[in-house]
Amino acid sequence: MKQSKTWFSEWFNTSYYHTLYKHRNNDEAQRFIKNLVSFLKLSKDKTILDLACGKGRHSIFLNSLGYQVVGADLSENSIQHANQFANEQLTFKVQDMREPFNIKVDAVFNMFTSFGYFDDDKEDLKVLSNIAQAIHTDGVAVVDYMNVHKVIQHLVPQETIQREALEFNIKRHVTNGFITKEIHVLDQEESFNFQERVKVIDLDKFKTYCELANLKIKHIFGDYNLSAFNKDTSDRLILILTK
Ligand SMILES: C[S@@+](CC[C@H](N)C(=O)[O-])C[C@H]1O[C@@H](n2cnc3c(N)ncnc32)[C@H](O)[C@@H]1O
């Protein structure tokens, strides 16, 4: 059997990732976006940066609602894919979120756990500082993170998931402050190994980060319907930040 190892940042761009997370579909993403723009009262003349946009599903939907959107991601492949949807009001660029964005917008959206990848906390802080730099004085930022408390409480150490012809063998563990998922994909006669690794950042740690990055936490939600955050029961930790 052929076996290969793929780097973490590329896992998100594989068809396997999209097959595994198929149930986290566009409907969910679009419902979240609608709830957010309505809550934030973001008028259609506003500009939005979708930071770590992946293949652009949030950017594309935001643009369809009338916003001017820039989608930015480290992955050249994802940006190349997203670019087929580009128009005058929707652009995409390759961007490492640790590097300055050189852009001013009304809102930055960081969606679906697109944060907490770096070993050094200073790099997480750099991302938050870049977000603060990128928004206008009255701008807003949204960080949509996992509720690490609940994830750790309910961590399933080993699981096999069948999706279409693919078998995913998944191992999960918390090691050195990271929630790590080892994913072994069996695709007919070939098998591939991937790793997803996200830092254990709870609300207290976000509070410290935000203070250091000169961002204020204005609201805290626990799911895509924008219900109140509850450490034990919420699936998400969604922060609404201002300067
Ligand atoms: C979990 S995916 C989410 C993508 C998108 N927000 C969505 O919901 O479909 C995380 C994304 O972060 C991107 N990423 C990882 N490290 C990055 C970095 N240093 N700078 C910018 N993007 C990065 C990956 O390429 C990937 O597209």
Residue 9 pLDDT exceeds 70: no
- Helix or strand or coil: residue 74? coil
pLDDT at position 19 is: 86
Instruction: Decide: 61 in ligand 1 pocket, CB within 6 A.
Output: no
Residue 131 has which token pair?
A: 């977000």
Query: Would you kindly state where each structural domain of the chain is located, as residue ranges?
Result: 2-10+150-198, 12-146+202-242
Contact 215, 242 (CB under 8 A): yes
Q: Tell me which residue has its CA closest to atom 17 in ligand 1.
A: 74
pLDDT at position 23 is: 66
Closest ligand 1 atom to the C-alpha of 113?
Answer: 1
Instruction: Decide: 49 in ligand 1 pocket, CB within 6 A.
Output: no
Average pLDDT, stretch 217-221?
Answer: 98
Ligand 1 centroid distance, CA of 1 (Å): 30
Instruction: Decide: 62 in ligand 1 pocket, CB within 6 A.
Output: no
pLDDT at position 70 is: 98
pTM for this model (two decimals):
0.94
Closest ligand 1 atom to the C-alpha of 98?
Answer: 19
Average pLDDT, stretch 190-211?
Answer: 95
Closest ligand 1 atom to the C-alpha of 29?
Answer: 8
Architecture in CATH of 2-10+150-198: Single Sheet (2.20)
Instruction: Decide: 115 in ligand 1 pocket, CB within 6 A.
Output: no
Residue 93 pLDDT exceeds 80: yes
Ligand 1 centroid distance, CA of 55 (Å): 9
What are the tens digits of pLDDT across the range 47-65?
Answer: 999 999 999 999 999 999 9
Average pLDDT, stretch 64-68?
Answer: 97
d(CA 10, CA 74): 10
Instruction: Decide: 97 in ligand 1 pocket, CB within 6 A.
Output: yes
* Model confidence band, residue 189 (pLDDT cutoffs 50, 70, 90): confident
- Nearest-Å Rg of the Cα atoms of the chain is 18
Closest ligand 1 atom to the C-alpha of 52?
Answer: 22
Average pLDDT, stretch 204-223?
Answer: 98
Instruction: Decide: 111 in ligand 1 pocket, CB within 6 A.
Output: yes
d(CA 21, CA 170): 13
Torsion, Cα 6 75 49 237, to 10 degrees, reads 0
Q: How many residues does the chain have?
A: 243
Residue 159 pLDDT exceeds 80: yes
Q: Tell me which residue has its CA closest to atom 27 in ligand 1.
A: 54
pLDDT at position 39 is: 98
DSSP letter for each residue of 181-196: EEEEEEETTEEEEEEE
* Model confidence band, residue 24 (pLDDT cutoffs 50, 70, 90): low
pLDDT at position 1 is: 46
Instruction: Decide: 74 in ligand 1 pocket, CB within 6 A.
Output: yes
What are the tens digits of pLDDT across the range 132-156?
Answer: 999 999 999 999 999 999 999 999 9
CATH of domain 12-146+202-242: 3.40.50.150
Ligand 1 centroid distance, CA of 67 (Å): 21
